[in-house]
Amino acid sequence: MAEKRDYYEVLGVQKNANADEIKKAYRKAAIQYHPDKNPGDKEAEEKFKEAAEAYDVLSNPDKRARYDQFGHAGMSGAAGGGAGGFGGFSGGGFSMEDIFSQFGDIFGGHFGGGFRSSGGGGAHHVNRGSDIRVRVKLTLAEIANGVTKKLKINKTIACDKCGGTGAKDANSYSTCPTCNGAGYVTRVENTFFGRMQTQGVCPTCGGSGKVITAQCDKCKGEGTLRGQEVVEIKIPAGVGEGMVLTVTGKGNAARQGGVNGDLLVMIEEESDAELVRDGNDLIHNLNITVTTALLGGTVEVPTVDGRAKIKIAPGTHAGKVLRLGGKGLPDVNGYGRGDELVVVDITIPAKLSAEEKKLVEQLAAQPGFQKAESVKNQNIFERMKSFFR
Ligand SMILES: [Zn+2]
Ligand SMILES: [Zn+2]
């Protein structure tokens, strides 16, 4: 039986890769070696199974910890102390059915779409392009409804001449002298359990087992060029300031056909002249006239769906909060929708004409205007928020 390769190397991730990176790497490998993409290719099938096995271990914190400590020996059960849970692999490894029943969901909507040709017969690169961070400014209306943005991203892209490999042509390779084509190097270490072999990605070839003998003249062997890509990104409704959306694989291309970095899109909220966000609620400070406050009436208020008419009841106090149910922002996780809170203020004319003054004086003599009362039943918190405008 062939010697097992290092699981990190199989997935092309660093030893300190987080769960998300491991999942992404596995998805990429699974798509690349998927039997539907490689009909009748025995080698691809083995790689497909190998990736599933690596993912099974590295995606499970307990198994991963044991693997990190003891390598493949820790997986066999002999050195592991019999904690169980390692039954699946030691014999013939995974069957295809196992893989689909256990990890099928990882393909998600990506399968069929994300497949990327890997140029020079590509194997297990560890090169990874860097992530790109961009900011996107959204209006409240865009946040309320969700929006699709097309972003023009300056980035490194795969060289079109060599397909990202960096090689002049298919004959421009020779077997890596460091690893003799294996793609990994074996080290012997002394451990608590005695001498143990560990395997690491070959530093010379980066895991491909091959070195380039003649470089592509367009990219000087890098496999990448400076370029631009228009990335369409669907931003869900309800996002907020500072949230970061990850678009997998849309960052910088990696050297010589490695794994693309990600595009990280940070959300910024454009401040709105009339509506202030408070979580999923929106607050609007509404000014009404003294006469509307006294007599009632209909006024217009802004909402994220355009202007709306609301009724003001006769005798409305300043500071009264009118709640427009469901007129706030949708929750980003789909838990309903916030409200719009309309906080009433009353505009008092700064100057009165002689006639106005006379009328108000007459009004002031009326019995209903003789006594001021403190306003009850006001929600202090909601009143406070109106001061932040
Ligand atoms: Zn090598
Ligand atoms: Zn090139």
Distance 114 CA to ligand 1 centre (A): 28
- At 92 the pLDDT is 41
* Better-scored residue on pLDDT, 123 or 49: 49
Q: 71-92+125-166+216-270: which CATH number, 3.40.190.10, 1.10.940.10, 2.60.260.20, 3.40.50.300?
A: 2.60.260.20
Which residues crowd ion ligand 2, with CB under 5 Å?
159, 161-162, 216, 218-219
Query: Given a cut of 90, is residue 44 above it in pLDDT?
Result: no
**Do 71-92+125-166+216-270 and 276-388 fold alike per CATH?**
yes
The answer to the question of whether 228 is labelled as a binding residue is no
Which of 230, 330, 213 lies closest to 280 in space, CA to CA?
330
Handedness of CA 78, 79, 84, 87 (dihedral sign): negative
What are the residue ranges spanned by the domains of the chain?
1-59, 71-92+125-166+216-270, 95-123+173-213, 276-388
Mean pLDDT of 40-48: 85
- Answer yes or no: is pLDDT of 46 > 70: yes
Q: pLDDT tens digit string along 318-369?
A: 999 999 999 999 998 888 999 999 999 999 999 999 999 999 999 999 998 8
What is the distance between the alpha carbons of residues 221 and 143, in angstroms, rounded to a whole number?
Answer: 44
Classify the C-alpha dihedral 363-367-371-376 as positive or negative.
Answer: negative
CA distances from 229 to 127, 143, 176, 220, 328 (A): 20, 24, 34, 21, 35
Q: Is 147's pLDDT higher than 60? A: yes
Q: Which of 255, 110, 225, 104 is nearest to 160 (CA)?
A: 225
Q: Is the pLDDT of residue 5 over 90?
A: no
Model confidence at 126, in pLDDT bands (50, 70, 90)? low
| CA separation, residue 183 to residues 14, 141, 254 (Å) | 15, 52, 18
**Three-class SS state of 38:** coil
Q: What percent of the chain has pLDDT over 70?
A: 80
Q: Region 109-134: what's the mean pLDDT? A: 52
Please tell me whether 201 is known to bind a ligand. no
Position 106 confidence tier, pLDDT thresholds 50, 70, 90: low
Better-predicted residue by pLDDT, 360 or 97: 360
The rounded Å distance from CA 208 to ligand 2 centre is 17
Collapse the DSSP code of 248 into the 3-class scheme (helix H, G, I; strand E, B; otherwise coil) and give the result.
coil
Ligand 1 centre distance from Cα of residue 48 (Å): 21
**Does 202 show up as a binding residue in the annotation?**
yes
Residue 76 known to bind ligand: no
DSSP, collapsed to helix, strand or coil, labels residue 201 as strand
Match 């795969």 to its residue by tokens: 158
Rg (CA), the chain: 32
Taking only the tens place, the pLDDT of each residue in 224-239 is 999 999 999 999 999 9
Mean pLDDT of 281-306: 96
pLDDT of 194 reads 72
Ligand nearest to the CA of 167: 2
State which fold the 276-388 domain adopts. Answer: HSP40/DNAj peptide-binding domain (2.60.260)
- The CATH T-level fold of domain 1-59 is Helix Hairpins (1.10.287)
**Geometric angle at alpha carbon 346, from 345 and 348, rounded to 5°:** 140
Mean pLDDT, all residues of the chain: 82
Tell me if 27 is assigned to a ligand binding site: no
Answer whether residue 182 shows pLDDT above 50: yes
Q: Do residues 79 and 70 make contact, with C-beta atoms less than 8 angstroms apart?
A: yes
Give me the torsion for CA of 244, 248, 253, 257, rounded to 10°: 160
Instruction: Spell out where 192-262 has E strands.
Output: 194-201, 210-212, 224-235, 244-247
Task: Calculate mean pLDDT across residues 252-257.
Answer: 89
Cα 375 to ligand 1 centre (Å): 80
Average of per-residue pLDDT across 76-104: 45
CB-based burial, 180-211: b 16+ in 10 Å, e otherwise: eebbbbeeeeeeeeeebeebbbbeebbbbbbb
- The answer to whether 176 is annotated as binding is yes
